[in-house]
Amino acid sequence: MSKSYFDTESNGHKPFELPGAKPHYNPDRPGQVEHIFLDLCLDIPSKSYSGSCTIRLLPIRNGIKRLILDAVNLNIQSVEVDQVPQQFEYDGEKLAIQLSQPTLIGEKLLIVISYSVEKPQRGMYFIQPDKHYPHKPTQVWTQGEDEDSRFWFPCFDYPGQLSTSEIRVSVPKPLMAISNGELINTTEKENRKIYHWLQEQIHPTYLMTLAVGDFAEIREEWQGKSVTYYVEKGREADAKRSLGKTPRMMEFLSEKYGYIYPFPKYAQVCVDDFIFGGMENTSTTLLTDRCLLDERAILDNRNSESLVVHELAHQWFGDLLVIKHWSHAWIKEGMASYSEVMWTEQEYGTQDAAYYRLQEGRSYVSEDSSRYRRPMVTHVYREAIELYDRHIYEKGSCVYHMIRAELGDELFWTAIQTFVQNHAHQTVETVDLLRAIEAATGRNLTFLFDQYVYRGGHPDFKVVYAWDGDSNLAKVTVTQTQASDDHHGSKDLFDLKIPIGFGYKLQNSPEQLSIFTVRVNEREQSFYFPLKEKPDFISFDVGNNYLKTVVLEYPIPELKAQLEFDPDPISRIYAAEALAKKGSLEAVQALSAALKNDPFWGVQVEVAKQLTEIKLDQAFDALVSGLEDENPYVRRSVIESLAQIKTHPSYKAVKEFVQEGDSSYYVEAAACRTIGAICAANLDDKPSEEKVIKLLKSVLEERAGWNEVVRSGAIGGLAQFKTSEAALNLLLEYTKLGISQPLRLAAIRALGKISVGQTPANIERILDNLAEIAKETFFLTQVAVLTALGEMETPKAIAILQSLADQTADGRVRRYAEEEITKVQKNIGPDKTLRQLREELNQLKQQNQELKSRLENLEAKSKSK
């Protein structure tokens, strides 16, 4: 395909490929790995282990004399093939075995590698108490994706090789060891216990796992298969609360995918210090222990449920169907993310699912606009882990939804089930999905994949509506603003069939939509629709199935009617955004009514955000009424929105939530952040600054709790006081070792935010502190340091970022560091003066707002007379 089709360089977006990126392909296969057997003995106090890795290989070609395996920083003691010692070379990354007998097709090789590892830098992680964290549990767990299995055992480490596997491991009592497949044996020897696990279905090396700890074990079952949750002792109730829907989810996904859960058991192990949310190792998912909810957290936290269904969905998409190469990771990550949408629909209804999808779309759009634009399928990168971004998760989910919208429900599930059944226990690429769709439905969806998968971007629509009363014609003009209007713009155009609905609010009956489908394929097109009478509202992309951004330019009456009557919550949200841009008192009144009356909380949440976009004092009165909403999501959004209204009444309204608390942790945390933002904006008010800092300090001292959500909110509030040394001193206290990890990470991140108004001496203190913390190796700590440094406005931040990029073994840390360096360079460049100008402009706007509000009030009064 021609370069220009994929050319994302000239569209004003940063490129995904960083210097040093190159095409990656799977290596040539010497043969089929049939089985891997690890026999290990763990020495936990010294963070080391020793043992052997046995690989049974069936050669594909005659005459291979040399086998090359991936093995990083392992101590290789000996290599035997069929019990004969072999010569080998090892450079710390690749193990090259010189075969004394060249391969023969059909004659299997049994390769036994004896090795040991001290303090592995990745792959296997040893967690144990130390002087700073005496209560940390003793655990060992592994993490293979993307290519980290090579750090804990020698292997052909890429997803194209599928084999059965077996792990026998000796651990000190009373610890237990959990791995893939079934437990076939346990034996005891003095003060140790040996666990022997066998995984009889083939899978890739990156999905082999081991988790060791003194866990509580909670057993359930589904259709005769054991469903087990392993958590730290004492957290059994949290486990049932957070993971308890698993059997129902197994039922749901087995039915949707048309393939019964494919493995002998399903275990979920919650581990400490996990570096991801979860990892879908075959039949044995590892999850962060931060997903365990207490009684209050479950009130407004569905993230754990989404995480559980995401990792479970991978047991089919990822583990049963394995991607052949990392470049096709969207197939599994997109479906796992889309399964979150499907489960939301099943559990909470279609409006919640639509809103979940909108959030996923926005998450991708923000990466596309601020980070880089890329095709979803690309094999050009530095490290495969760079592909694990919002393009493959959130955009992937939206692409699956567009396929569903294109085919309709019945054909969509037929296609998905055909895909799963045809490729079970095999590797797949993107083209296999297209072929399965065509085989099952006769539909060729290459046009959709060409536009959304094989190139970057999405359409940005501007929609203008006008009514011609003389001829009863509705005129809708659609512009694709992502395409420039010169001849180069044509390659950025999308060609889509979009339904446009015209709605009428009829008394005592549901809203009626007359729907017309139009082909949108040029930069600007006008469509004319003959209608019996003038519509009350216009719905662009009925169902909101396409991944897009949209700006509506309709008259106020139509927007108000759409906000009130459009049956689709996403269309109501788009109407709210368009109304807020009108900025009038009439818009405030329409949004206030929606905040009070919309039947769906997601619309209320969005309306609250939009109200603050209108710089009128009346917006405040509307918002405050939302503080009493029974839905915690709505209260939280209202409090976050009040951060934009920096007045004494908003301060008072929020202060009550900080002092008195709320049933929701998240609402309390938002109040702590907001009160900081409101107070810090009134720079001339020193007494209340001291009062608020003291109040936030009391939150830090008294409200330790679930995942430190509330205290992290207080840290966020303190970070707003950019000129306060007292606030900075408090933050620095909480970056010390010994502070609970989620809270410490929040404090580290906050140093970047608070740094921008501090004195040069204090900036030095912040830099010294971050430079010291940057020496720690824990992934999440390093990311927190990068985030903080990226917000700073001093060239000295660049030096620390550079040293982190140079020293880290983690591709993600290196990439973040380089992106943050660019950010800092921007912060200290001409943008800084711009920002100061902007701040002065905002103060002027604030004064203007008061005048404008008074005027609007006077006008409203004169109209009502």
Q: pLDDT digit string (tens) for 735-766? A: 999 999 999 999 999 999 999 999 999 999 99
Share of the chain above pLDDT 70, in %: 94
> Tokens for 373?
């634009």
pLDDT of residue 509: 66
**If 0-12 CB within 10 Å is exposed, 13-18 middle and 19+ buried, where does residue 207 land?**
buried
Q: How far apart are CA 377 and CA 370, in angstroms?
A: 20
**If 0-12 CB within 10 Å is exposed, 13-18 middle and 19+ buried, where does residue 469 land?**
exposed
* Residues in the chain, total: 865
What band does 6 get if pLDDT is binned at 50, 70 and 90? Answer: very low
Q: How far apart are CA 758 and CA 721, in angstroms?
A: 9
pTM: 0.94
Residue 605 to residues 112, 424, 610: CA-CA distances in angstroms? Answer: 59, 42, 9
What band does 687 get if pLDDT is binned at 50, 70 and 90? Answer: confident
For CA atoms 408, 245, 355, 365, the dihedral sign is negative
pLDDT of residue 616: 86
Supply the DSSP symbol for 18.
P
Supply the DSSP symbol for 373.
B
The residue behind tokens 């709605």 is: 503
Residue 510 DSSP SS3: coil
* Cα of 793 vs its chain's centroid, Å: 28
Q: Closest Cα to residue 535, out of 625, 619, 466? A: 466
What band does 505 get if pLDDT is binned at 50, 70 and 90? Answer: confident
Sheet of strand 278-279: strand arrangement:
215-222, 225-232, 265-271, 284-288, 278-279
Long-range contacts of 410-418 (CB under 8 A, 24+ apart): 411/440, 411/441, 411/443, 413/256, 413/258, 414/440, 414/441, 415/440, 415/441, 416/256, 416/257, 416/258, 417/257, 417/258, 417/259
Q: How far apart are CA 483 and CA 490, in angstroms?
A: 7
* Cα of 213 vs its chain's centroid, Å: 28
Give one DSSP letter per residue of 109-178, joined into a string. EEEEEEEEEES-SSSEEEE---SS-TTPPPEEEE--TTTTGGGTS-B--STT--EEEEEEEEEETT-EEE
pLDDT of residue 507: 63
- 5 pLDDT more than 50: no
Residue range 407-459, pLDDT digits in tens? 999 999 999 999 999 999 999 999 999 999 999 999 999 999 999 999 999 99
Q: How far apart are CA 562 and CA 574, in angstroms?
A: 9
**What is the signed CA dihedral for 612, 615, 618, 621, rounded to 10 degrees?**
30
Q: How far apart are CA 263 and CA 269, in angstroms?
A: 16
Name the average pLDDT for the chain: 94
* CB-CB contact of 329 with 433 (8 Å): no
pLDDT of residue 846: 66
Residue 2 DSSP SS3: coil
Residue range 220-261, pLDDT digits in tens? 999 999 999 999 999 999 999 999 999 999 999 999 999 999
Q: How far apart are CA 655 and CA 677, in angstroms?
A: 12
Residue 422 DSSP SS3: helix
Rounded to 5 degrees, φ, ψ at 419 are: -60, -45
* CB-CB contact of 98 with 88 (8 Å): yes
Residue range 109-132, pLDDT digits in tens? 999 999 999 999 999 999 999 999
pLDDT of residue 682: 79
Coarse DSSP helix, strand, coil percentages of the chain, rounded to the nearest 5 percent: 45, 25, 30
Bond before 174 cis per omega within 30 degrees = yes
Share of the chain above pLDDT 90, in %: 89
Q: Closest Cα to residue 762, out of 804, 731, 736, 741? A: 731
Q: How far apart are CA 559 and CA 574, in angstroms?
A: 9
* CB-CB contact of 374 with 800 (8 Å): no
Q: Closest Cα to residue 487, out of 456, 523, 451? A: 523
Amino acid identity for residue 576 in this structure: A
Overall average pLDDT of the 289-312 stretch: 97
Residue range 538-596, pLDDT digits in tens? 999 999 999 999 999 999 999 999 999 999 999 999 999 999 999 999 999 999 999 99
Burial 421-451 (b: 16+ CB within 10 A, else e): eebeeebbbbebbbbbbeebbeeebeebbeb
pLDDT of residue 585: 94
- Cβ atoms within 10 Å, residue 660: 9
Q: Closest Cα to residue 517, out of 552, 545, 555? A: 545
Burial 700-730 (b: 16+ CB within 10 A, else e): beebeebbbbbbbbbbbbbbbbeebeebbeb
Give one DSSP letter per residue of 23-61, joined into a string. E--PPPPSEEEEEEEEEEEEETTTTEEEEEEEEEEEESS
Which residues make beta-bridge pairs with 231?
A: 216
- 709 pLDDT more than 50: yes
> Tokens for 636?
């939280």
- 511 pLDDT more than 70: no
- Cβ atoms within 10 Å, residue 476: 20
What band does 841 get if pLDDT is binned at 50, 70 and 90? Answer: low
Residue 729 to residues 169, 724, 767: CA-CA distances in angstroms? Answer: 48, 9, 14
Overall average pLDDT of the 618-625 stretch: 92
Q: Closest Cα to residue 552, out of 613, 499, 484, 477? A: 477
Overall average pLDDT of the 714-729 stretch: 97
Rounded to 5 degrees, φ, ψ at 308 are: -65, -45
Q: SS3 sequence, 562-615? A: HHHHCCCHHHHHHHHHHHHHHCCHHHHHHHHHHHHHCCCHHHHHHHHHHHCCCC
Q: Closest Cα to residue 543, out of 570, 509, 565? A: 570
Q: How far apart are CA 294 and CA 235, in angstroms?
A: 9
pLDDT of residue 8: 36
- 624 pLDDT more than 70: yes
Give one DSSP letter per residue of 446-493, joined into a string. HHHHHHHTSS----EEEEEEEEETTTTEEEEEEEETTS-SSGGGGGG-
pLDDT of residue 9: 40
> Tokens for 764?
């030095």
- Three-point CA angle 35, 39, 44, nearest 5°: 140
- Three-point CA angle 114, 118, 120, nearest 5°: 100
- 1 pLDDT more than 60: no
